[in-house]
């Protein structure tokens, strides 16, 4: 697991150019911390058959879902005028006692900046692991999650933000959160 996280961080850092860029000290960077609420679809809910009779249905079976509360940290650097890339880590718990949730992602996005703040879109992809309860098997998956992000300027280098998204291919999985962003340069530069 640690090897996957280190590989994801190095690949993302290399892809964004922050390791090899000779102008990296001039590029605006930001560190965003926040809390997310998540709804996770975890497969199909199954029930024991009531009899030996086979039933035919035209509706899809219900899927089991869990809620999660997580803390996140995201580090990104501007790569072009409106584009940015970086990494994000996430850790938290599901509703069940003894559960845990973790993720390590690469981030690419675009945003439009104004005096009041910024609005943008991003794609987050990488490893996600969860354990539903004590003694349960860990479930490790790779995910892609498109998101929208809005930020309100509180000061020259401080932003309050909101983010929302959904996991691709996981019907019923969603996320929403509040963030606090710290910028290396005065906002809008």
Q: pLDDT tens, position by position, for the chain (189 residues)? A: 566 666 666 665 555 555 555 555 567 889 999 999 999 876 544 444 445 555 555 555 445 567 899 999 999 998 877 899 999 999 999 988 889 999 999 999 999 988 899 999 999 999 999 988 888 899 999 999 999 999 999 998 999 999 999 999 988 899 999 999 998 887 655
**Residue-range domain boundaries for the chain:** 2-42+62-183
Q: Long-range CB contacts (< 8 A, 24+ apart) of 112-117?
A: 112/82, 113/187, 113/188, 114/188, 115/153, 115/188, 116/152, 116/153, 117/150, 117/151, 117/152, 117/153, 117/159, 117/161
The dihedral region occupied by 23, where left means phi > 0, alpha psi between -120 and 50, and beta the remainder, is alpha
pTM value is 0.76
d(C-alpha 5, C-alpha 24), whole Å:
23
**The domain 2-42+62-183: what is its CATH number?**
2.40.160.20
Q: Report the residue count for the chain.
A: 189
């Amino acid at each position: 697991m640690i090897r996957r996280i280190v590989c994801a961080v190095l690949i993302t850092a290399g892809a964004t150019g922050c390791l090899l860029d000779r102008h990296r000290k001039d590029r605006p960077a930001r560190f965003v911390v926040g809390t997310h609420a998540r709804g996770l679809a975890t497969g199909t809910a199954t029930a024991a058959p009531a009899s030996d009779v086979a039933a035919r249905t035209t509706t899809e079976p219900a899927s089991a879902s869990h809620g999660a509360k997580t803390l996140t940290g995201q580090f990104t650097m501007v790569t072009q005028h409106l584009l940015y890339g970086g990494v994000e880590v996430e850790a938290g718990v599901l509703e069940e006692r003894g559960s845990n949730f973790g993720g390590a992602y690469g981030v690419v996005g675009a945003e439009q900046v104004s005096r009041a703040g910024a609005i943008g879109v991003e794609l987050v992809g990488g490893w996600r692991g969860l354990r539903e309860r004590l003694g349960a098997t860990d479930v490790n998956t790779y995910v892609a999650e498109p998101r929208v992000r809005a930020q309100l300027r509180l000061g020259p280098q401080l932003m309050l933000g909101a983010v929302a998204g959904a996991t691709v291919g996981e019907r019923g999985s969603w996320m929403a959160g509040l963030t606090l962003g710290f910028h290396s340069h005065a906002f809008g530069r």
